[in-house]
Structure 1
């Protein structure tokens, strides 16, 4: 098999499109972050899907970044690094939610709920140490990275500017939804982000010739 830059770019485009689609689907099937959910197959399935989505997004954004490497400049590098770190953090946390939290729930149910409730905005009873800072760090990387990367895409004029604008809008909506909406409705703020990632994947597929 002859592996070329065009082949890798197509693979990254497909990965981005799949990641965005999975991100949208997850919001509709995610169970409540409560102890009763941890013993269900749905919990494990959703978080394995979330883990796969994070890995696919990491691959997709790598291709999106490399396609317009020179045009993105320093802003693109910083914002891509922020998004990449977010997806690494997400993958690690999803792995723990899928395969570790259900085991902890057997002997330490309160601790398990405290961990999985970090992003559900449930107050923790146990001292989670540095783990308690994960939601704040993740939010900064997610919102800040998407906002700056969207700006960099618009300035680069290589991939779809509309996708860049949607990425910025999705990033801006996220903290507003988090402040005003309950967690079950807050999840819907992820839909434009998923759509933006799919759009970027399509734009990368359509514009996959190496930049000069």
Structure 2
């Protein structure tokens, strides 16, 4: 198998679409943010899915940015870096939730409860170290990066504009969660997931068409050794 830029582009598109599907899937019937939930197998599985989702999203948005790096300009770069940083920290938080918190649920339940409180947007009673800062960085990167990156993609007109617009609107709307119950966090993630699916499929189609065009050009080129009629 020959690895080409279009092959990597299609892979990035599939990664983004898969990330969107996982982003939606992990929200369905999500267990409550309580210490009792942390010790369950479901908790580990869901947060492991979040780690995979964040990694796939990073690969997907990198493919989107590389596809239109020249057209996107400074806005695209800033949006990509912010959005990627948000997902990178999100992946780290999900890793901690999946593989570290369960081992502390019995020995340090108060600490685990404080971490869950911070993750839910509340104020902890104890010291959670840099977790609160990491949670804020993830939130700011997700919100600001999603808005800027979505607008940049919309302006460039390479990928599906409806998906780019939805990404910007969906991430911007999360600011409302400051005044809404935590239960709404699950609902607000769905539009972003749909946007990632739309952008991923659009990137995959774009790169498939680019590959076809490249093959057709090679077939008609005199350099291919074939007669041109």
Deviations along 1:128-162, whole A, 9 cap, x unmatched?
23322223222211110010011101111111111
2:37 corresponds to which residue?
37
Structure 2: unaligned runs, 5 residues or longer: 212-229
Q: For 1:152 and 1:36, how far apart are their aligned partners in 2?
A: 42
1:3-42 matches, cutoff 5 A: 3-42=3-42
In the comparison of the two structures, how many residue pairs are matched? 209
Q: Is the 8 A contact 1:101 1:116 kept in 2?
A: no
Q: SS where residue 123 of structure 1 aligns?
A: coil
How far has the Cα of 1:115 moved from its partner? Answer: 1.5
For residues 36-83 of structure 1, the C-alpha deviation after alignment (integer angstroms, 9 at most, x for no partner) is 101111100100000000000000101111111111011101110111
Distance 1:66 1:117 in 2: 37
How far apart, in 2, do the equivalents of 1:129 and 1:89 lie? 15
Larger radius of gyration: 2
TM-score by length of 2: 0.88
- Name the CA distance, whole Å, in 2 between partners of 1:9 and 1:86: 22
Partner SS state of residue 80, structure 2: helix
Are the counterparts in 1 of residues 10 and 205 from structure 2 also a CA contact under 8 Å?
Answer: no
1:80 paired residue number: 80
Whether the 8 Å contact between 1:142 and 1:171 is mirrored in structure 2 is yes
Distance 2:91 2:46 in 1: 13
Do the aligned residues in 2 keep the contact of 1:160 with 1:203 (CA within 8 Å)? yes
What are the Cα deviations for residues 3-25 of structure 1, in whole angstroms up to 9, with x where unaligned? 11111111101100000010011
TM-score by length of 1: 0.94
**Greater shift in the superposed pair: 147-156 or 117-126:** 117-126
| Dislocated runs of 4+, deviation >6 Å | none
1:79-118 mapped onto 2 (5 Å cutoff): 79-118=79-118
Is the Cα–Cα contact under 8 Å of residues 17 and 198 in structure 1 kept in the other structure? Answer: yes
Hey, what's the Cα distance between the residues in 1 that align with 2:118 and 2:28?
A: 19
SS in 2 for 1:81: helix
What is the alpha-carbon root mean square deviation over aligned residues? 1.3
SS for the counterpart of 1:117 is helix
* Matched residue SS, 2:100: helix
Q: Which residue of 2 aligns with 1:2?
A: 2
Distance in structure 2 (CA, Å) of the matches to 1:118 and 1:49: 21
Number of the residue aligned with 1:153: 153
